[in-house]
Amino acid sequence: MTTSHTAVQLDGVCKEFGDTVAVDGIDIDLRRGEFFSLLGPSGCGKTTTLRMISGFETPTDGAIRIEGEDVVHRPPNKRNTNLVFQSLSLFPHMTVAENIGYGLKKDGVNPGERERLVEKYLAIVGLSGYKRRSTQDLSGGQQQRVAIARALVNEPDILLLDEPLSSLDRKLRQRMQVELQEIHDRVESTFFYVTHDQDVAMSMSDRLAVMNNGQIEQVGTPREIYREPASAFVADFIGDTNLLDGVVENTTHPPRLSIDGGTDVVVELGESPVNGDVVAAIRPEEVTLTDPGAGVIDGTIVNQYFHGERTNLVVEPHDESIPDLDVSVQGRAGIPDSDDVSIELNPEAVSVYAK
């Protein structure tokens, strides 16, 4: 049931291309005015989903509603949406103002109103005074803002963004993330952002959906998805994660996890809903070092990577059946490679998933 605060609703949406199922029965609700990201690896179906919302693809099955109205058979120009492409597609022979006002002119908006709206959205994207400039004279970040202003000037209900920051270098991308959030805060549109970059999605989104093989694995806030991943795929795809095979014994109270490999590692899991063979996931910052023989897994430091405030250590367990473990410690580790250590797992931070 569509509620008054729902901007977009996807209900059992499927898309097939011949024998290939690109999108496999997904359900997503976008709340009005939120910044929502669809995150997943290349080829998972996220761009196809965006194209179905915009009207450039028609679902094989399922319903798409925008502001409560079924739009499955409505063409793109009859949906109150706009799209920012990765390639931007600005007109090089036009000025900034002409690029932004192009759609308004095409729709027959009178020159006075067109100029007012162009000035309004130039101010929103921080480009007041740039209207007579050629887009070819702008930096990459400024061109991004022109493309966003051009998509917003028609005041769509939904702004669809197809990885528009992926071609920018790291520093400019980080700056544009902040600016895009600020632009979102100044307008009333709902933003639907498609990306494979978890850093972008996690830093900008009110909520996000993680997609894999045409299906939605989890929907939630960035904090929920990082701290409480719903599947081993989400745990592995979002951030750094140690994945370990093990067995949960539900005959004990509370249930306990034993890691495979002959090393006696037991972590209490509370009332775990799974039983038998599992995959256990734990973040590197939830793994701590201790003296050899004092922890649950003994190993040797074989590498370390300095990342400013934190250092990531790679520990190779002495039990060869256990994979290398990543450990994140504050500051410079100060521990030489080849040193023997033991590790402890934070029992409250272990997630388990049935194989």
Residue 49: phi and psi, rounded to 5, are -60, -45
Q: Read off the DSSP letter of residue 133.
A: S
106 contacts: CB under 8 Å, gap ≥ 6 = none
The pTM for the full model equals 0.88
* Rg over CA atoms, the chain: 25
Give the Cα separation of 160 and 253 in Å (integer). Answer: 49
Q: In what order do the strands lie in the sheet with 81-84?
A: 81-84, 158-162, 190-195, 35-39, 207-212, 215-220
> Tokens 């930096």 appear where?
139
Which domains, from first to last, does the chain contain? Answer: 6-233 (3.40.50.300), 240-354 (no CATH)
Question: CB–CB of 238/225 below 8 Å?
Answer: yes
137 contacts: CB under 8 Å, gap ≥ 6 = none
The two tokens of residue 53 are 């919302």
Give the Cα separation of 126 and 137 in Å (integer). Answer: 16
The two tokens of residue 199 are 């850093």
Per-residue pLDDT tens, the chain, 355 aa: give them: 334 489 999 999 999 999 999 999 999 999 999 999 999 999 999 999 999 999 999 999 999 999 999 999 999 988 989 988 877 788 888 999 999 999 898 888 999 999 999 999 999 988 998 999 998 888 888 888 899 999 999 889 899 999 888 877 888 888 888 888 988 998 978 999 999 999 889 999 999 999 999 999 999 999 999 999 999 999 999 989 999 998 888 777 777 888 876 566 777 777 777 888 999 999 999 999 989 988 888 999 999 888 878 889 999 999 888 999 999 988 765 666 778 999 998 888 889 998 8
User: How many other β-carbons are positioned within 10 Å of the β-carbon of residue 128?
Assistant: 11
The two tokens of residue 353 are 């998933």
User: How many other β-carbons are positioned within 10 Å of the β-carbon of residue 187?
Assistant: 18
220 contacts: CB under 8 Å, gap ≥ 6 = 207, 208, 228
By residue count, the chain amounts to: 355
Could you report the per-residue pLDDT of 13-69, keeping only the tens digit for each? Answer: 999 999 999 999 999 999 999 999 999 999 999 999 999 999 999 999 999 999 999
Closest CA to 348 of 232, 270, 255: 270
Largest CA distance in the chain: 78
> What DSSP element (H or E) covers 215?
strand 215-220
Question: CB–CB of 196/163 below 8 Å?
Answer: yes
> What DSSP element (H or E) covers 199?
helix 198-204
Distance of CA 287 to the CA centre of its chain: 25
> Tokens 């949960």 appear where?
248
